[in-house]
């Protein structure tokens, strides 16, 4: 990938994750968790804004241009973040797998050659550490809870696992972190097998198209509008 594609991958992961998490607003299983998921969504959106602003400078586009005026095949997010929320266990599973990837990624960028990206990553790694801790606590709580919560959490992990190979390819830190959480939660790590991919190349599931239609409709209906 080019340098711009790498920025888009980071920014698009965060943007699409923020949009999905925002769908939980007023629908969380308890008030505290409703607020927590909204805050995680805002953290992801903050990263997306900074990174997409940076990426857009290459050809004079703004963060809004990149968020609202690209088609689905122009997005470089991993497939995991565009999947529907499902039940609460599925959303927690997605957050665990994503934050387990984002935290070491941001940490690796802090002292990298790109100082501007490193400054963004320095702030983002602190937020992603909380996201990882929060999702890990819920994974353990559900996995090692009642028979029903265990069943749902295991089903979520089984459903999501095929999409993780875009995250853990060559990333031993990700795998080690996730495996330790699953073990504590008395959950089984799924075997390998089907490995859908293509998100980094702009090949997405049908779910991204629906998500973008909802996210982009106002901007496209009123191009150039200002508050």
Q: Using DSSP, state whether 58 is helix, strand or coil.
A: coil
Q: How far apart are CA 148 and CA 177, in angstroms?
A: 25
The whole-chain average pLDDT of the chain stands at 95
Per-residue pLDDT reduced to its tens digit, 122-175: 999 999 999 999 999 999 999 999 999 999 999 999 999 999 989 876 567 899
Q: How confident is the model at residue 89 (pLDDT cuts 50, 70, 90)?
A: very high
Q: Which of 146, 133, 137 is nearest to 102 (CA)?
A: 133
Q: Using DSSP, state whether 25 is helix, strand or coil.
A: coil
Per-residue pLDDT reduced to its tens digit, 101-124: 999 999 999 999 999 999 999 999
Residue 76 has what pLDDT?
A: 97
Cβ contacts of residue 13 below 8 Å, gap of 6+?
Answer: 77, 78, 81, 98, 102
Residue 144 has what pLDDT?
A: 98
* Range of lowest pLDDT (53-57, 87-91, 171-175): 171-175
- Higher-pLDDT residue of 28 and 91 is 91
- Percentage of the chain lying above the pLDDT 90 cut: 87
Q: Which of 77, 83, 79 is nearest to 48 (CA)?
A: 77
Cβ contacts of residue 145 below 8 Å, gap of 6+?
Answer: none
Residue 8 near residue 76 (C-beta atoms within 8 A): yes
Residue 40 near residue 131 (C-beta atoms within 8 A): yes
Q: How far apart are CA 62 and CA 215, in angstroms?
A: 16
Q: What is the sign of the dihedral through the CA atoms of 141, 183, 101 and 74?
A: negative
Tokens of 32: 């505290």
Per-residue pLDDT reduced to its tens digit, 173-225: 899 999 999 999 999 999 877 889 999 999 999 999 999 999 999 999 998 77
Residue 16 near residue 77 (C-beta atoms within 8 A): yes
Q: How many CB atoms lie within 10 A of CB 179?
A: 13
pTM equals 0.95
Long-range CB contact pairs, 145-152, < 8 A, 24+: 149/89, 150/186, 150/187, 152/87, 152/89
Domains and CATH numbers, the chain: 3-221 (1.20.1260.10)
Q: In angstroms, how far is CA 54 from the centroid of its own chain?
A: 19
Q: Which of 50, 36, 183, 59 is nearest to 106 (CA)?
A: 50
């Amino acid at each position: 990938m080019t340098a711009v594609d790498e920025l888009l991958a980071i920014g698009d992961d965060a943007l699409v994750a923020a949009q999905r998490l925002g769908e939980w607003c007023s629908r969380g299983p308890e008030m505290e968790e409703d607020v927590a998921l909204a805050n995680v969504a805002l953290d992801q959106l903050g990263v997306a804004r900074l990174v997409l602003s940076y990426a857009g400078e290459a050809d004079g586009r703004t963060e809004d241009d990149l968020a609202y005026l690209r088609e689905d095949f122009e997005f470089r997010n991993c497939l995991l973040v565009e999947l529907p929320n499902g039940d609460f266990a599925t959303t927690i599973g997605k957050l665990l797998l994503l934050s387990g990837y984002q935290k070491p990624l941001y940490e690796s960028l802090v002292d990298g050659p790109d100082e501007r990206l490193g400054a963004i990553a320095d702030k983002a790694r602190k937020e992603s550490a909380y996201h990882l801790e929060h999702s890990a606590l819920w994974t353990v709580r559900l996995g090692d809870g009642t028979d029903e919560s265990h069943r749902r959490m295991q089903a979520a992990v089984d459903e999501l696992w095929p999409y993780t190979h875009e995250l853990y390819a060559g990333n031993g830190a990700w795998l080690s972190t996730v495996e330790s959480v699953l073990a504590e939660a008395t959950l089984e790590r799924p075997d390998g097998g089907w490995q859908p991919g293509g998100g980094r190349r702009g090949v997405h599931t049908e779910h991204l198209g629906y998500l973008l239609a909802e996210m982009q409709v106002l901007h496209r209906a009123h191009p150039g509008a200002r508050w």
